[in-house]
Structure formats: C-alpha cells, structure tokens
Structure 1
C-alpha cells in the first residue's frame, strides 16, 4: 500500500500547507483506514512523527489495526534503536490498547534490537514512572517475550520492587517519609537512647530483624518507637503506623481482610519500610472466625522470619506471655526487648530535661522544682494505670498542651493549679477532691445525694464517707476506690444513687458503666466481660467488653445490676477484681480498676409488703438488717 501511486499522492496532498499537525493526528485515529494511514506516513515524511509519537501512542486503542501496523513500521524505521521503540510503545501506549492484537509487528521490531544484555538505551524511558505504568509495561513485555528485551523486563521488575505505593499505605495507616524530624522532639532516658541504636541496627540489617518491645503502658515503648523511626527516616526509610484497628477498618466480609493483608505485604516486602504496630496482640486474633483460625499474625509471620518485612511492635508483658504459649513461633521471629519502668529519680531527671527543653520563651524551665515534685505525687496517686515515667510525662505534657493551645508560647511557669486542672480533665475528679489544700464540704455533698435519692440515709452516708476517704488518700491503693452492695426492690433508687456518684465524682453520669447481670447467667458470658479471643471481628466485639471500657476510662462507676443473677464463674471473676483491682482479657491485656467504684445491686430480700415507705430504708420492716444478711448469705456462696 505504501508503494501505491494513489496512496503516495494522498500523502503528498496531506503534506500541504492547508493541513496542520493536529489535523493529521485526528486523521490517524479516524474511521477511514486509508486516510489514517496516509496521515501517519505524512507525519513521518515531514519529520514530525517522532515529536508527535507520544500523542499517537496514547490513542492506540482508537486506531484501526492496519493503521497501527503502519505506525509501528514507521516508528521503527525512524528510531535509531528498534528495541527502544518497542519499549516506548509498551510503556506509553494507550492503557486500553490490547497488545495481544499486535504481537507480530512488535516482535519483528524487537528482533532488530541490539542484544547487548544491558538497559542503558532504555534508562530514560523507565525513569520516574509510577508503579501502575511499570506494571502495564511488564505485562506487555511478558506477552512479547523477545530475548533482546529480557534485560528491560528485569529492570522493570527491579524498579517495581523498590517503588513505594504511598497512596495505598496511606489508605491503611499513617505514613511518614523523608528526613524531616518530628515536630514533637522525643525526650528519652539514656537507656532508651542506647536501646534505639541497637534496634536501629537490627531493623537495618540484611535481612531485617523485626523487634518487639515488651513493657507496661507508660514505660517508654512509644517514645522508643519514635526515636527509632526518626533515625531510620534520616536513612531513607518510610514509616507506616498501622495497628489492628486501622488494618481491620471497613473489612466486613470473610476474605476481605486476607486480600487487604496480601496487598499490604506485597507493597512492603523487600522495601525499606518500617511497619509500626502498637498492639501486636490484636494481630494475633484479628481475622480469625468460625471457619478459620488463621490470624493476620499467622499470615505475616513467615515473612517476618525471613526478614522480608520489618516490624517494630509493642505488647504488654501478660499479653506477650500468652502469645508465647499460643504462637511459639513469635519467640524466634522477633527480637524481644523488655522495657522496664524508671524509678523516681530517673523519672524526675527526665521530667527536668523536658522542663528545660520545653520551657518559657526566655529559657526558664517550665516547672519549678517544687511543682515538679507535686506533679510526681499527683501522677503516682491518680495516674497509676500508667507506669513511670509515662504517668508523670503525660501529666506535664498535657498541661503544657492545654496552656499553649492555639499556638501561644509559654509565658509563665506551670503551677500546681495548672496540674490540677489538667488532672481533673483526665480523670473527671473535681479539683477540690484532687487538691490536698482544698476542703471538702461533706454536708453539701450529703445534701446533693438526698436531693437526688429519697429515703436512703444509710446508703448516702456510706458513699459520702467513701468520697471523703478518697479525698484524704486513705483508700487501699491496690484495690478499687470502693466496692458496695445495695440490696432492695426495683425502683428504690439504687441506680440513681450510682449515677449521682458518677456525676459528682467523675464529672458526668456517662461515667457510669452499667452491666445487666441477668445477661451473664452462663459461663459463656465471660466473653462479654473479657472480649472474645476469636470471632470474625474480635477487636470490635472487644471494644464493648468491660475490660476495654475500663481501659478507655479507668475513672468510672461500675454498676453491676442484679448481681445475684450472674453465673458463679462471673462472681469469681469479680472477686478477683475486688481484691486485686485488675482484670486481664483473653489476649493478655490488663485493665486497671483501682480508680473505679463498683456498686453491686440485688433484689435479694427485697419483698415489699403493703404500705411500705419509699426506698430500702431501715424503717421498712422487710429490710431488717439481719434478715437481709441471711437472704444474701443464702443466695451468694
């Protein structure tokens, strides 16, 4: 066809001044095959084909097959390097174009490529291409399968193995890259700084050695993670922070999570990406369901063992002890490092360093020595759910954040009153309870209870005395603030008095956690307390468990309504809570009940005769103390 005289005259006609380049480009992709072929040749003979090649390649799917054949022939004739021409076609060709339709002409071009075993002639064509474009080129070269292009194929594979899909990672969790340090500089003890260097070497080794930080909440695991992450970022690493909750988000059906984990692993393996997991125990149960016991941790353990994934994870000691039993492979897969609490001297030294680093604008430390000691005492007394130094650092950091809200600078020292205001926000306790210098108006508190709950002087006196003991710091530091049993018939104010206590002591009636114990009549109900170990979405179910709710807010009133209806195994669990002030879920995560008040209610002995007074007052004969005690002894063992 190219040698046909009529065709040649048509080409010459299209090279006339009345036709611009854009007109010829439109003809190439038009419906008329002859005119389209003439336009392609006209572009080549006028020397404009090479400049217009990218515009033509992105329209390949709209061209007729015969026009594409001529175009490929012309591009190969114009190119100094036939193989380079093929690579440009497969890299920049229309994504909608099916390369299988044109294998013959592409293979003919590829056979003319110099087979020197290098990719030097193609480097600029592959540079800075996104993963999607490289993936498309890889698939097309795999179909063409010409030995001369094998080095290009291997080069694409290598480039893809180093690319990081930041958009995908950001859809999973928080991504940080580049050498820019974190806005909040980490203040760490010398021991943590030394540990950071060791962990950095383990992660940066070849193959990478994943690390597990074992320690109670507050010992400095998260601070150590930040130190390591900051150091690795300066060496070109990308950081992904994604725990169980982020990984499970939106995964509703069986198979979805497995697919997401597979996609994530494919984008992490072999790359300089550190995956930070704050709750490794969650991965050990995430994804299991009644048809499969395979968890997310089970899926990624082989890659961790081979060093294809680099994980820096956190876990609490009890959860780690349990995980070693249920999944022994973790012992060898991770380099476990135990992080222990700092003593008083080390914690105060760390706080002084923080005070100097984040001081006033004139360089004065943020806290005076006396205020720092007061902060230590408050943290020990009221933030016992965190270990040192985390409890003290959390208190002073939150205080500074509150005082500098809105971007203002620190212009005055942090005072004791500032610490108390922050502590009140954290716990819900009123400042007159927290402040040892302030008095407690016991009579006003008693009047508050009497206004809300009628006819219950004995119960009111009991709770008022307990609040006074909390104020004076006379409660047992190893047990809950208080455990009470209120017996009486329905409608006598047992729930209302608990709400009133929650509102006064912790700032809101929402701080009362009510459990209907009639729902806990079988041993299987333990999962409702402790959270399920397995299940299609165990972390969601766990959020509604008592353990999870107390971990989220340890300063609460826990109302165990109609306690006598619960199974005896449930009673045993709560006896442990009453005695130790702690409860551990099935994954080994502990909840601290030492700052909670637990109120049990019971209808035992609550038969009401005709004409009783309101409430469960001692004036009502049926509530004669010895009779109620006898009824309780018969009901509870």
Structure 2
C-alpha cells in the first residue's frame, strides 16, 4: 500500500500522524488526515473549488478532535494505530488502484472514498454541502491541468518503482551509451533507431530502472524519465492551437524542473503534428529552441523506415545523436526469455520448461521472418501461457510451443512435430515414388537441399535455385509440388507468360512512386512475407521480359527483395524453381525423344545471361516419358480416385488391358503425361460419377475398369467375384 501512495499524499499522512501525536491521541482517524489535507495548500485548493469554507472547516475539525477523541500519553516513538473506518478507506483505495491499473493514489482518491464512511464527521461535512465524487473529480482535474507533466506524460520512474516495468536484459551497453549522451552539456539528446520489436522503448525503461535502483551513472541519479503520451495530447484538442499549447505547457514544466528527461516514442510523428499547412509551426519546430540550448534532454525512438522522414528536417535531426538498436542475438534472446519467464509464469499460473523457452526463440526466428526478436519470441511465450489456462496440466513444454507457432504462421502441426531429419532422409525416396523416370533430377535437387539444411551452403542465398528444362508434361511442375508436399511447406506458382512486358515487373514489386497503385506493394513480396517457407515456381521462364530476369538475380544472390514501399521479403527459406522448355522443339525435330540432349544448352545461353546461369545451383534436364512411365502415372491417378471415394466405402481397380490402352492412347510426346488426366476425366470419372449418383453401390463394392470393344468400361463386380 505504501508504494502506491503518491509523494504528496504520503507527506499529508505523515503530517496527520504528527497532528495526532501533538494532540496526544494514540489513534489515527479519517479526521486527522482530513485536517492535514485542509492545512495543505494543494489539497485544500481541490476542496475550495468544491465551495468548502477552508478556515471554518479547519476550526470545526479541530474542535471535533479535541472533544471526541480521548487523549492518552504514549511513548514519543510510537505510531498511532488506524481506526477501522480509516483502514476501510485505505483498503478501498488500494483495490480501486489495482483494478484501474492506477500507478499512484492521490489525495483526491482519499476524499472520494471517505464519502463511503457516512458516519464519519468529515463525510458528514462534505455531504452536507452536496460535495460528491463527481465534484471532487472535476475539481482535481482542473488542478491537474496545472501539472501538464502529470496529464500528458507517464513517469517511468514511478512505474519502475512500483514493479510495472519488466527487467531489461542484455542492453547494458546501449543503456550506458544513452546515459552518457544525456549528460552532455550540449546536444544531450538521443534518437534510438531500430526495427519494430527489437527493444527501443525498453532502453528508456531500462534507464528509469537504473535510476530507481541507483545503478545509473552519478549525473543521472536525481533525474526522472517521462514518456510523452501523444494520444492524450491530441485527444480533445478541438481548436487550432490546442495541441501546440499543450506541448508548450509540457516543455515549460520540463524547463522549470531541470531533472526531467523526455522520452518520445515514434518521434517522427512530431513532424507536421499540429500544423495545418501554409507554413504553420509544427511540434518539431516548437522543440528546436530547447534542444539547441541544451535545456531539454530528450530520447526519441523510431524505425529505420520512419527515420527517413525524420532526417528530412536537418535542423531537428542534427540536434540528436543516433544510437542504432540492433536485433539481439539468439543467445541473448535465450537469456532474455529465461529472465522474464517467471513474470509470465506468475501471470498465467503455469511453468515453462527450458526447452519451451528455447523453442520460443528458435521457432519464431525460423518461421516468423517479418518481425524481430525478442518481441516475437515474447509474444509466443505469452500466447502459450494463455493456451494452457483451461488445461489441468500447468507445465508448458516444446510441444505446446509448437502448437502455438502453428497458429502464428499457419503451418500444420504435423509438419512442426515431425522430425525434419527424417523428412530429409526419406526425401529422395518419397519423390521417386511420386515422380517417374526423373531420378537424375531428383538426385540433383535433393543433394542441394541437404547441403543447405546441414548449414554448409551460403547463409545469404535461397535454399536452392534450380532451372528445370524439359518437354511439356514430363513432371517439372509435379516435382515442384511434390517437394513442397514432402517438406510440408507452401507451394506458389507464378506464370511468367504474364510478365512479357517491361512494365509488368510492377506486378511483382509494386508500381513506381507516383503511379496508380504505388501504395499497394507487389505480389511477390506479399507472397514471401506471408509464407517465407515455400517452394516458388516460376513457370515458363523463357516468356518473361529481361527485366524480370534481372529482378531474380538479386533474389538468387542475396535472398532478399524490396518493393517500392521499402518492405523487404526474405528468400532464405525459399526453394526457387524455374521451368523452361526452350529448345525442346528443335531437339525433337532432330530426333531426340527418349532422353533430352544437352544441345538445349545453346538455346539457354541465348536466353539467359552468364551471370544468371552462374547463380543457379543446378540446371536439371528432364527425360521424356516412356510407355511404362505412362502406365505408372495412370496407376497413380487410379490410387488418387480410390482415396477420394474411400468415405463412400467403394473402390476401383483397373485390369492390364485397360491400363495398356490408356497409356497407349495418352502417349503423345507433344502433350506429355497431361493427356492421361484428360482420358481419366472423360473415360473413367464420368462413368464412375453415374454409378455413384444413380446406381448407389452397396458398401465394400469393387468397380472394375476393363477394355471392351476398344472402349473403357466400368463394371460393378458381384461380392463373390471380389
């Protein structure tokens, strides 16, 4: 309770204790504190605004204490004990402060809650004059307007003293650097520059904690850190000039109290704030004189992107010393989460294991690429605590963290729970079961993926960059989809025939500044930011404009791409696959059918620049498919149909003659395996749909696919035939 009392209210209570002792009372009553508040200038002004006659009331309270409170000698060092009525007032004030998240209890709170003790003499005086809660609040608000620091800023020292600020870990160097700049005679202002979530605000809070704990440098020990609340300053400013008036009042109050440091989060918002155009003075210009003469010590915080707006005002930016706040390392984040985990354990009534804390850092670092540590890891830690509140089990392990991150990034839990090493170990086998007669291509691509996952490839490149070359329908797109499915990641296909013109590049990265749609950003950037772990297929690359090729040079070299808004996409966890059938027709005209000739190289050299080809991990040539491959693909489609009709408790099977017929009919090199799907759609699925809809086969029925008179026919077998 003592920590919640404001310094002003504490002084009044101390004065009330002194009054009680002077009057030889061994108890402390509501009237003692009420009398002390009437004798205090600031507190009495609140009641005076409520039309209370202060001198008369003082006399009445003194007479009451002399007449009704018995005197009793007590040792000089004894403290009068509180009456039950006074204890109830303090109890109600403390409850209200906690529920309203109030950092301090002020004297006006005492006036409000003593009204509940209607039998007390002080309450009777106030109620007789119709002084109620509303009048006291209105009077105290008028009074607070005389203290703009209280109205428009938050005292971080008080928050730190009351335990409202979490401990700051791993930022000792930055806190010391900022503290040293604040103690300079001139240009003692700092601007913290860093990405959102890296801990810029925490630096200011860390300085407040060091001041409260007296671990700061000596020159700052008597300072207070006040955080400017721009929302409160703007709220209710009805007329032009209201905002500037409030800001000027705050700055004047700081100028009178030399031991105040002003912290302005999102400081770039001050540029233009309060100005209505036409050369009017904005908030930034109001700050400049105080910043120039060193009478205002200021800490600002902004991001790299918004700093571009801030540094346009050279007169303002030159008065600040820049301190860049980098994203903490993985090891630092382990330490940060380990130190703050007890706070979340107490709040959520759970227990985090060491593996869970490490998983919060590792999983967010791997899967959440558009945000920064430690903010994203702390968010995951907090959300995991919420998810277990309705569960009897109170311990959070790695499994619960994986379940939460799956909601974070929209990845199936099965992918997170599976062992990635087993996925990679079985990748080649899994792909060869899906894709036929392309063993060389599968071997090449799995080798590059394994090298990357082992950490032996460049850290600033995509997982792999591949060019698939081959005839239409040989499995280039199918292999790309199979890789995404096997690894449990997203698959995105971009048809490069839509990017044949130079201006079409704006679809990928957004329109240039000044053009329609500039603010919307680009398709490619949005795709990768939403699903940073994916297979990205650029289909029919040869149809794209040369400017598009140049765009992907940057992706293959640095694994990053920025749109015209400055939004950056990270391609480090992307498998980039490009497909082409360039030169295929020429090869077939020369008679190369069963296996692709590398004479396609000459066509690719004309199509792709040397620097583009040099950045590819591998150019993979796909073989043409043979008769046996067509039969295997047909079987694969039949299995897929069986999976689709499994819930209807029926199945289909195909005999060898029908299988050979479909494979022979589909064997058209210019179309590839795509022709099989058309035949199955027309000759099998159409008949099967009629059987399901109109014949309503019994459970466990088997439908046989046979060849009759050179046509595919579906025949329902009797139960004894199956």
TM-score by length of 2: 0.45
Instruction: Give the number of the structure with larger relative contact order, counting CA–CA contacts within 8 Å between residues 6 or more apart.
Output: 1
Larger radius of gyration: 2
